[in-house]
Structure 1
Amino acid sequence: MLRFKILASTIPLAIAAFLARGELFASTQPCISAGDTTVQLAALPWQAQSHVSFTDDPARATIRVQIVDNAESADFAVIDDTDTDEPGACSVSAATRFIGITSSAASTDPVIYLSDNDGADYRIYVKSRSFSARDAAALIVGARTKAPARLAEANL
């Protein structure tokens, strides 16, 4: 009976550990390599270390991202025309930064205006089965945005 009680008490702890790390329902999330780290869209809200949001109003935007028609004129291009992933290209490590897309931005979070218009801060080209233009914009802005102050202060 004691063994059953111990087993019954450890199962919820194991499930909580899987959920906390996001591995129980994890699916492949869009990611990019940025220097010595990777930047990945968070699968679960609590995984995100920083957030971005999108707006349809250019006056509310803090960053403008233009969708361009060819990779040569883009600052960032996503093209996946292969059926296999490059092994280890976006492996999750302690240096991985997770970006969350939120519908309501905090005052310090970037607000992205995604359009086809000129005069943008970044230009992206996306031809992908796994990335949307929003995913690519969130990743490039998240990769270029500094870490939140509380994380930067912790690294001092």
Structure 2
Amino acid sequence: MHNALQVFTIVVVGVMVGVEFSVAFVINRILDALPEDSGQLGRAHGGRMLGAVMPVWYIGSLVLVAIWAVTGWADPGAGLVVTAGALLVLSVVMSLLLLVPINNRGKTWTPENRPADWKQQMKRWDRYHHVRVAVIVGAFALLAAALV
């Protein structure tokens, strides 16, 4: 049962990392290259869609890692799992303090109501998101290493 939990946790966290990586390095670059207001509208839609899903995914991943840490406390890789959990906590805190406020504004913007500095706000979100991606990639790597 513990092995199933480990595999399930790694798959859930790994897919989350993949989604966030693709947002950072693929989707947003595509949206930014679209003509006129299409990119901003796409970002707003993405903010609404992923803004509804990602909190559950982040918290669910953290809960799975916590269960793994508790049930596998005596395992050799327990320290790696706990450290991965700490990184996921950091990613949630970063999300709440840095990314969610910008996303909550951006998901309501249209070409008619967006602020003059909307591009600067999106660039700030992108920078924070790149850091968050690095943090969750680190957590994922630690979880994978914990199995070895």
TM-score category of the 2 structures, normalised to the smaller one: under 0.3
Normalised to the residue count of structure 1, the TM-score between the two structures is 0.22
Task: Compare the two structures and name the one with the higher helix fraction.
Answer: 2
Structure 1 or 2, whichever has the larger Rg, is 1
Normalised to the residue count of structure 2, the TM-score between the two structures is 0.23
Q: Which has the higher contact order (CA 8 A, sep 6+)?
A: 2
Task: Compare the two structures and name the one with the higher strand fraction.
Answer: 1
